[in-house]
Chain A
Amino acid sequence: MSYQWKKDLCCIGTYKTLSDNSKLDQFEEEDISFESAPDVKMKQLRYFLHTTTTQQAIEHLALQMAMSFLNNFSENYVLTKQKKELQTADFYRDLASIFKDGDKNIKELAELMDKYVQFEDE
C-alpha cells in the first residue's frame, strides 16, 4: 500500500518545516496548501538548485539542505528512531538524494521521514 499523505505529525511537520518563513521558507502557504503539497516536486521549491549541473555542487548543497531540514524539524518535534539500527548519516544521505532530485515530491520526503522517525502520534 502506498504512503498516505494525511494530517499527522510527520506530514504536518514536513509541510511546516518546508514552508515556515523562519525555517526553510521554500514556498508560501497561500500558494501551496497542505492538501496540494504532496504532489509538489523538489524542482518547484524556491531554493532548488537550477543554476548548475556540477554533480559535486549539487550533492554538497543537497546534503546541507538535508541537515538544515532535519535540524529545523527537530526544533518543533520529538524525533526517535523507528528502529535502533538506523543511522543518522544514512538518514542525511537519503534525504539529500530526495532534495537533489527535482522529480521527487513532498510526499516522498514525508514517506522517508516516516521510515526513519517514530513520531509521538504513531
Chain B
Amino acid sequence: MMKKSNLYFLLITSQLAVLSTSVLSDDKNPTDATDRVNRKYDFKPILLDSENTDSSTLGIQYNFSDSLFNKNYDTEDAPDCSIFPCPKTVVGSAKVTYDLKGTFTENADNNPKNFIETNINGSYFKASMDSTLIWSGGIFLKYETDQKFNNKQLVYGLNEL
C-alpha cells in the first residue's frame, strides 16, 4: 500500500505537471522569424521500481529544451542588384540551445534512473550564392551527474554542423 506522504507527493507533482504544461509550453510570438525553435517542457511524476528494495518509489521526470539565443543575420538585397536571387545576399544564423533531462526521487539511493544531463549547444551558419564556401559549425557543452552530485563529468567539443 502506498504511504500517505507518497500520495501527497504524487498529488503535488501532478499539479506541477499540469501547471508546467499550461504555463511553460506557451509559445512566444510565432511570427518572429528569428525565434522559431523547438521548445519542450515535459515535467511529470513517475512511479519507479526502487533500485535497492522491492517497493516502488515516486519521482519527477523532466525534459526541457529551449533556446537561449537565436538570431538570423540575413542581409538585404543590394539596391543595384538586377539578378534574382541576388548572389551577394548572405543568409546567416547563430543559435544557442539547451537541453535538460533527468529524474529526481525522494531518496536518490532508490532512484534507478539516477542520472541528470545538461546540454548546451551553440551553432553558426553563413552562406551566400556567390560563394562555394558555407560556414557552418558549433560547440557543445555537456554536464552529467547523479542526483547527489557525487559522480559527475563535463564533456565539451566541436560540432560539424
User: A57 — which chain B residues lie within 8 A by C-beta?
Assistant: 161
- A87-B77, A89-B76, A93-B33 are known contacts. Are A60 and B129 too (CB-CB below 8 A)? no
Given A54-B161, A56-B121, residue A89 in contact with residue B127 (CB < 8 A): no
**A44 interface residue per 8 A CB criterion:** no
Q: Which of B83, B84, B89, B134 contacts A89 (CB 8 A)?
A: B89
Interchain CB contact under 8 A, A87 and B95: no
Select from chain A the residue with minimum beta-carbon distance to B128: A67
Q: A89-B74, A93-B33 are in contact. Are A117 and B84 (CB under 8 A)?
A: yes
Measured CB to CB, the nearest residue on chain A to B130 is A71
Chain A contributes a number of interface residues (CB within 8 A of B) equal to: 25
Report the separation of the CA atoms of residues A54 and B38 in the bound assembly, to the nearest whole angstrom: 11
Given A87-B89, A89-B90, check contact A56 B75 (CB 8 Å): no
Q: Smallest CB–CB gap between A88 and chain B, Å?
A: 4
- Does B86 touch A at the CB level, under 8 Å? yes
- Determine if B85 and A63 form an interchain contact, defined as CB atoms under 8 angstroms apart: no
Number of interface residues of B (CB under 8 A): 28
Output the nearest chain B residue to A53 by Cβ-Cβ distance.
B38
Residues on A with C-beta less than 8 A from B76 are: 87, 89
A residues within 8 A CB of B159? 56
Q: How many A-B residue pairs have CB under 8 A?
A: 65
User: Are the CB atoms of A70 and B125 closer together than 8 Å?
Assistant: no
In Å, the complex CA distance between A87 and B72 comes to: 14
A55-B38, A70-B129 in contact; A92/B138 too (CB < 8 A)? no
User: A61 CA to B125 CA in the complex, in Å?
Assistant: 11
Q: Which residues of B contact A61 (CB under 8 A)?
A: 161
B10 within 8 A of A: no
Q: Which residues of B contact A59 (CB under 8 A)?
A: 93, 125
Q: A-contacting residues of B (Cβ < 8 Å)?
A: 33, 37-38, 72, 74-77, 83-86, 89-91, 93, 95, 97, 121, 123, 125, 127, 129, 134, 136, 138, 159, 161
A-B contact pairs, 17 of them (CB 8 A): A56-B95, A56-B121, A57-B161, A60-B161, A64-B127, A71-B129, A74-B83, A74-B84, A74-B85, A81-B84, A87-B74, A88-B129, A89-B74, A90-B74, A92-B85, A92-B91, A116-B84
